[in-house]
């Protein structure tokens, strides 16, 4: 997702992820659900990296939007720790009334964006109220770690930078919370996130550790020539048997005794191992015994040993059987519906009905009602399924299918042309275009939104700065709000040069005008 400075005319920075202004926030109205407000804009970000379904609701990141009516109405929990700040949802787990949301932000340091921990939002009443928890960090004095018979040296991780909560998991059996926090490694909490304890994993040069054996290794993330990639956490999962799985930058770790003794698995050349050693996502396939674990396993060239590659690793029989699938694909998330497996990846949504032996892929998404499309080459970041719908989060909107992926409904941030309360960031206009500025290379097309009094056709004309006609587009419209698209090409099919362009929408006996800035 690219964040740009939007022109004053075409506003709406939050279409690409920036928070609404305090004035726009007042447009949210109280919902009939305790602790929630209704959003007049639908979902609040078009890049959907987090999804979770539970109890008839779907939850959507990065602002914890939720809906219980298949997306007809969207709500936002009353929490000033997330919406309206720089914080975003990094991870989410829901089990019954317990909701654990890991939140973070991007800090700008030396011209670079550093992912940073902001803490956690924890609800024990289904989201009616949330409590804030501090990030999973150490104090300066936490320079040792007792591990069984050993007292190990440890690096105190005292700053939130590079320790975002990439993954969280709540275990209802032990009532423990687990977090994978990159530089802060894998940690657990026995008091709902009020305090956190380090989890000691094998260092890079050991595959098995047990607390009754003496060790002298250091507990610290890799930095320079010291520390371990296996002490840098990406993902964590407690499966239905109570086995704990920890995905790191150094492999996949398994504990069958509550998180003290661990065995580490790494990629090798056999094809019966991990595809790569970066384990960025872990999901359990329901109704399998013993549990089947699906891992998004990446190769980044930093893990040493066998080169490995991007793909999916399927782990069966507690780690005794490994199989590989979707080799070469960079994937992010998994969902399951009986015997159907859904995988979210850079190249689309992958669907298998035979445990991953063969796959169908969907990379082009069109709304069955409006004809609206998802931008080509958009990544699929997240996927969830319940007994009513398949949900898919992309870099260009949220998708819902009621027929297993055959047809789609697309949800975008729905900014009205005529808001109930106009402001500088959400003005009362007859038309606007987004994203603006527009890059054909990054965005594929710019959407032009306008009103029509009735069914018919509209003609959209694009002019350059000298008011020379560049392109004319005729499209069918229906009464109400409509969207059309311009792909940044002129009438001859050539990409237009950088600069300001003006559009004129002629619909019925009305004309709407606006400006688009093209920047490559």
pLDDT band at 304 (very low <50, low <70, confident <90, very high): very low
In CATH, what class is 431-518? Answer: mainly beta
pLDDT at 339 over 80: yes
Q: Tell me the pLDDT tens digit for each residue of 398-442.
A: 999 999 999 999 999 888 888 777 666 678 888 999 888 999 888
pLDDT of residue 78: 75
The confidence band for 144, taking pLDDT boundaries of 50, 70 and 90, is very high
Q: Where are the domains of the chain?
A: 96-328, 431-518
**Nearest to 326, CA basis, from 283, 365, 276:** 276
The model's pTM is 0.87
Taking 50 as the threshold, does the pLDDT of residue 325 lie above it?
yes
Using the predicted structure, report yes or no on whether residue 293 has a pLDDT greater than 90.
yes
Closest CA to 119 of 66, 234, 196: 196
Task: Give the largest Cα separation in the chain, rounded.
Answer: 84
What is the rounded average pLDDT for all residues in the chain?
89
Strands, E assignment, 373-498: 380-385, 390-394, 397-401, 409-411, 431-434, 446-452, 456-463, 469-477, 480-486
CATH architecture entry for 96-328: 6 Propeller (2.120)
- Residue 303's pLDDT is 45
Query: How far lies 471's CA from each of 460, 467, 503, in Å?
Result: 8, 11, 9
Task: Give pLDDT, residue 329.
Answer: 96
Omega before residue 91 within 30° of 0, cis = no
User: pLDDT tens-digit profile of 213-264?
Assistant: 999 999 999 988 899 999 999 999 999 999 999 999 999 999 999 999 999 9
To which residue do tokens 């007792």 refer? 146
Taking only the tens place, the pLDDT of each residue in 453-504 is 889 999 999 999 999 999 999 999 988 889 899 999 999 999 999 999 999 9
């Amino acid at each position: 997702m690219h964040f740009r400075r939007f022109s004053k005319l075409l506003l709406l920075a939050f279409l690409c992820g920036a928070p609404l202004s305090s004035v726009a926030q007042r447009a949210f109205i109280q919902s009939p659900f305790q602790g929630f407000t209704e959003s007049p804009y639908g979902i609040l970000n078009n890049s959907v990296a987090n999804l979770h379904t539970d109890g008839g609701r779907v939850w959507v990141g990065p602002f914890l939007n939720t809906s219980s009516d298949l997306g007809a109405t969207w709500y936002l929990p009353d929490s000033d720790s997330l919406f309206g700040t720089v914080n975003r949802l990094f991870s989410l787990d829901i089990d019954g009334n317990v909701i654990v949301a890991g939140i973070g932000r991007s800090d700008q340091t030396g011209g670079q964006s550093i992912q940073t921990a902001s803490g956690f939002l924890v609800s024990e009443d289904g989201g009616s109220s949330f409590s804030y928890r501090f990030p999973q960090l150490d104090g300066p004095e936490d320079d040792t770690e007792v591990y069984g018979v050993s007292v190990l040296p440890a690096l105190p991780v005292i700053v939130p930078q590079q320790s975002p909560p990439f993954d969280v998991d709540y275990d209802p059996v032990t009532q423990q919370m687990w977090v994978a926090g990159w530089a802060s490694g894998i940690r657990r909490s026995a008091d709902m996130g009020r305090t956190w304890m380090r989890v000691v994993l094998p260092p890079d040069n050991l595959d098995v550790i047990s607390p009754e054996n003496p060790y002298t290794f250091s507990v610290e993330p890799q930095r320079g020539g010291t520390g371990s990639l296996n002490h840098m956490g990406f993902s964590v999962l407690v499966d239905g048997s109570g086995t704990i799985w920890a995905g790191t930058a150094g492999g996949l770790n398994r504990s069958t005794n509550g998180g003290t003794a661990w065995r580490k698995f790494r990629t090798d050349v056999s094809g019966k191992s991990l595809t790569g050693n970066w384990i960025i996502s872990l999901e359990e396939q329901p109704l399998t015994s013993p549990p089947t674990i699906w891992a998004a396993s990446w190769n980044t060239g930093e893990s040493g040993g066998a080169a490995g590659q991007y793909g999916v690793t399927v782990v069966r029989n507690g780690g005794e059987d490994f199989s590989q699938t979707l080799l070469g694909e960079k994937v992010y998330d998994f969902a399951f519906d009986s015997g159907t497996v859904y995988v979210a990846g850079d190249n689309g949504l992958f669907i298998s009905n035979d445990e991953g032996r063969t796959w169908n892929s969907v990379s082009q998404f069109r709304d069955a009602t409006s004809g609206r499309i998802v931008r080509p080459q958009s990544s699929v970041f997240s996927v969830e399924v319940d007994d009513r719908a398949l949900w898919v989060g992309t870099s260009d909107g949220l998708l819902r299918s009621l027929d297993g992926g055959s047809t789609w409904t697309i949800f975008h941030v729905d900014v009205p042309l005529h808001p109930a309360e106009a402001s500088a960031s959400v003005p009362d206009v007859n038309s606007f275009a987004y994203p603006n500025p527009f890059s054909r290379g990054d965005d594929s097309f710019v959407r032009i939104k306008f009103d029509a009094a009735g069914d018919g056709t509209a003609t959209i004309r694009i002019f350059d700065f000298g008011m020379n006609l560049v392109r004319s587009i005729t499209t069918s419209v229906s009464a109400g709000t409509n969207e059309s698209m311009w792909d940044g090409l002129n009438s001859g099919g050539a990409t237009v040069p950088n600069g300001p362009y003006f559009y004129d929408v002629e619909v019925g006996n009305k004309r709407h005008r606006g400006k688009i800035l093209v920047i490559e």
